[in-house]
Every structure is written in C-alpha cells, then in structure tokens.
Amino acid sequence: MQVLIVEDEPLAVKKLTRLLSEVAFDVKVAGTAGSIRATVEWLEANPAPDLIFLDIELSDGQSFEIFQRTKVKSPIIFVTSYDEFALQAFKVNSVDYLLKPVQREDLEAAINKFRELKQQYVREANPISANIENLLMSLTGGAATKEYRSRFLVKHLQKFVSVEVGDIAYFWSEGRVNFFKTKEGQRYLVEYTMEEIEAMLNPRDWFRVSRQFIVSVPSVNEIHPYFNNRLRLHLKPQEPEEVTVSRERVADFKVWLGK
C-alpha cells in the first residue's frame, strides 16, 4: 500500500512513519510534503497513492485548499486537532481522522477501516470528491455564508474598547503574546492565538506572511527581494520587527496582493 504523508512537522512525520511500519507491514511511504504547494506539486508529478494522511494545519495554510488547486484521487485520513463539532463532520462524511498526538491503536483502527472500505474507493469515479465537498461545507458553514469577525474587543488601560477590523493594519506575535496595530499606530494586546485570528479574518483582505505576522492589503507599504527567495516587507505604520514572507508563501502572497 502506497501512502503519502502531508505534515509540516518532521518529528510528526517520523513518528507516523514508524507507527505505520508497526501496524501495517505492507505500507510504504511513497512521499512526504509539508505545505499546500509541495503537496499539489507531488500529487501532480506522481501516481495517486492508495491513501493520504493529511494534516489540517500546514506551514502555508489549511490543507483543504489542496482540493481547490488539484484533483485528489485518493482517500484521506485526516490528522487533526479540531474540536468535537469538526470531528463529527468527518464521521458523517465517512472520512476518517486521527487526533493529534497520533496513538498506535487509533492508527491501527483507521488502517483497518480503510481496508474495509477500500472497494468503495474506485479512483476512476473519484468518489471522495463529494465527501470532501460535504466536509468543507460542514466545517465552514458554506463559503458563501461564512461570516468573518468585524471587530475586536480589547482591554486598554482600565477599560475595554471595541476596534473595527477595518481600522487594524496588521497582527503580530511576540513570543506567546499577540498584538495588533491600528492604522493610526495604536498597539493593542489581543487574547487569541495567531491561528484563531487567521481563521476569523477574511482571506481576501488578510494574509499570514509568516508565523509572526498577519497583514492587511493597505498595511503593505514596500516589498523588497530578500535572501533565500523570500520577501522583505515594510509596513505602515512601521513594523515592530523585521517582516519577511517565508519562501513557501511567496507565490501565494503575490497572487493575494495582486487580486
């Protein structure tokens, strides 16, 4: 059985590879990929694997975007840290999942389920496409109806203030503490993780250029080539630290900024 592992954490790839060798002697890891872009390139350059282990949060975004970029002909076992609502969506749509950190007994049960359902996955008919579409609808509530956050309630001095998203220039992370800066240059502490903030914002207007920064279109003042095929950004108001677009996200960033 040929499998593709899509995971951006090298240690997680090693652990999953080891567990697979322990629970399924006939499994061969045909390839690994750590980003949306790398996964799409691998799928388009190689025969469809028998099974894909797909992490949801990748280095350049959520892996659901893969299905919008290329035709996926293989059944999926998702690897996720999602809440119970999302897990229920996986079950309803007959798409199995593994909850992080992956446990041996859970992996073995998922492999056994796949073997039982194998006859249903006829690649020519691509039966998983409908499941993926249903899954996306379940998780997002439908792209056309998804609502994004319009304001943030933050503490300032001895009171709380409401700040409109349209007045925010960018978000950034300093260690485990996250902030945003308004277009007027005011800095506020925000009590959400960067992953949560990213999910709250309309991707048409916001882009996560790195693990540390999420920027808006108006905040990008200058763009310069940077070493290792990255980009260096100058923001307005002035950024608190160096802002670079990671190499894996440069192509998507250019597309986003050019829309």
| CATH number of 192's domain | 2.40.50.1020
Average pLDDT over residues 249-257: 89
Average pLDDT over residues 40-65: 88
The answer to whether position 116 is within a domain reads yes
CATH of the domain at 114: 3.40.50.2300
125 shares its domain with 253:
no
157 shares its domain with 67:
no
Within 10 A of 155 (CB to CB), how many other CB atoms are there? 12
Closest by CA to 113, choosing from 61, 86, 77, is 77
What would the two tokens of residue 100 be?
Answer: 């992080």
15 shares its domain with 68:
yes
pTM tops 0.75: no
129 shares its domain with 12:
yes
118 shares its domain with 196:
no
Is the separation of the CB atoms in 233 and 239 below 8 Å? yes
Is the separation of the CB atoms in 238 and 221 below 8 Å? no
Pairing assessment for the beta strands 187-190 and 177-182 based on DSSP bridges: antiparallel
17 shares its domain with 120:
yes
Indicate the SS3 state at residue 202: coil
126 shares its domain with 169:
no
The answer to whether position 50 is within a domain reads yes
**pLDDT at res. 128:** 54
| Cβ-Cβ contacts under 8 Å for 47 (sequence gap 6 or more) | 2
Residue 255 has pLDDT above 70, yes or no: yes
Residue 251 has pLDDT above 80, yes or no: yes
pLDDT tens per residue, range 63-118: 888 888 888 888 888 887 765 545 554 543 445 778 888 888 989 888 888 887 77
**pLDDT at res. 122:** 47
Handedness of CA 132, 18, 117, 74 (dihedral sign): positive
pLDDT tens per residue, range 188-214: 999 888 888 988 898 889 999 998 999
The answer to whether position 145 is within a domain reads no
163 shares its domain with 131:
no
Is the separation of the CB atoms in 172 and 213 below 8 Å? yes
The answer to whether position 85 is within a domain reads yes
* Cα 18 to Cα 86: distance, rounded to the nearest angstrom: 27
* Domain boundaries, position 218: 151-258
Closest by CA to 120, choosing from 84, 80, 165, 75, is 75
Residue 34 has pLDDT above 80, yes or no: yes
The answer to whether position 146 is within a domain reads no
**pLDDT at res. 145:** 47
**pLDDT at res. 25:** 84
**pLDDT at res. 216:** 96
Phi and psi at residue 113, to the nearest 5°? -65, -40
214 shares its domain with 160:
yes
* Cα 133 to Cα 20: distance, rounded to the nearest angstrom: 28
How many domains does the chain contain in total?
Answer: 2
